[in-house]
Amino acid sequence: MECTRQGSAEKTSARIRHGRPADIDALLELLRTLFAIEEDFVFDRAKARQGLELLLDAATATVLVAEDDGRVVGMCTGQVVISTAEGGPAVLVEDVVVQPGWRGRGIGRALLDALAAWSGRQGARRMQLLADRGNRDGLAFYHRTGWQSTQLICLRKKNFPGTGHSFPPGQGQPGADNTEGS
């Protein structure tokens, strides 16, 4: 697949393909670039490597890469989840990133188009992603490519049984009555 930006003479011969274990080092550098603009995440090479290995091995996930002249210049990942709102599969999109020098050439759009095709083959009824509120360029890109903002906000919880983290008294402990009515 050749990627070009509409109205631009700049062209790249980048092709989109499924990631492989041999790509992990290049993907880690892309994730380092992505996490540098994220407010909520700090890049941890070992954790990112483990996550990529799990994604590459998962039957319900994909890692897509953009490659130009043998060099990985972009990536995105998708994972199938079940949506009760949709009554079926949906795809959670993460890790959308293109190397700064390669942006504006249609690579990000091509990655998301390829992920949409993969999502359709999985029977997904919706794709969803989270983006950093401060990433204005990224948000503008998503809106230009047909993504819509919602009224939902993202919440997360890292301290729960089995994670090895401690809990404040009465929160998240077995036997603590903190789930009724929520």
Q: Residue 161 has what pLDDT? A: 82
**CATH code, domain carrying 130:** 3.40.630.30
For residue 102, being part of any structural domain is answered with yes
Q: What domain range is 84 assigned to?
A: 8-144
Q: How many domains does the chain have?
A: 1
**Segment-wise mean pLDDT, segments of 10 residues, the chain, 182 residues:** 46 88 98 92 96 98 97 98 97 97 96 98 97 92 95 87 63 48 45
For residue 70, being part of any structural domain is answered with yes
For residue 181, being part of any structural domain is answered with no
Which residue from 142, 137, 116, 12 is spatially nearest to 72, judged by alpha carbons? 12
pTM recorded for the entire structure? 0.83
Q: Residue 107 has what pLDDT? A: 97
- 115 contacts 76 by C-beta, under 8 angstroms: yes
Distance CA 181, CA 170 (A): 16
Question: Where is 129: in which H helix or E strand?
Answer: strand 127-129
